[in-house]
Amino acid sequence: MARSVCIFCGSSQGSREVYATAAISLARHLAANDVSIVYGGGKVGLMGVIADTALAAGGRVTGVIPRTLVEKEIAHQGLSDLRVVGSMHERKALMADLSDAFIALPGGYGTFEEFCEVLTWTQLGLQRKPCGLLNVDGYYDCLLGLFDRAVSEQFLKQVHRDLVISDSVPEALVRRVLACQVPLVEKWINRQQA
């Protein structure tokens, strides 16, 4: 069972209150279940909402932030643990090493990229850690549709598509992610084309 979950999310709060509300519910639920949070280390946007809420609920929060973003993302100085690293690559590697599972909330390019990278690592068998999308108010419907299209066009196996756990309810997503046993599945390669 996961004891630490890495949260990917925006350094903005987005255009609607529903995103912050979902982040608050998620952070409270993780803290109440004694699940530590690992995240990008900022104190602004949904990142700040996650950290502040979990800390206020008695949770443990570890932030990982590259030196170049300490000023831009305004590093959160009140965390249980703040790690400043040299690069984005180091940030992602350390966040993954410190985490047993991953959940992405709404965000932009960085959130999409971070989630898809750890999902790819799971697909390739480099790790066996659950990957969840908190699909707040349908935010990730188009991305989930793209994943389905990749299956129908035979760029992705259904078993790999099934690695993405999605739910619109924070508590339900956490339950599913914490209960998930990631299967080890070989990535297919078309031997006729190799």
> What's the whole-number average pLDDT of the chain?
93
**Both structure tokens of 54:** 């979990």
pTM of structure: 0.93
CATH number of 4-179, picked from 3.90.470.20, 2.40.160.20, 3.40.50.1360, 3.40.50.450: 3.40.50.450
Domain regions of the chain by residue span: 4-179
- For residue 97, give both structure tokens: 């090493």
pLDDT confidence bin for 189, thresholds 50/70/90: low
Dig out the tokens for 134 from the structure: 């908190």
Residue pair 103/6 in contact (Cβ under 8 Å)? The answer is yes
Query: pLDDT of 56-105, one tens digit each?
Result: 999 999 999 999 988 776 899 999 999 999 999 999 999 999 999 999 99
Query: Residue 109 above 70 pLDDT?
Result: yes
| Amino acid making up residue 7 | I
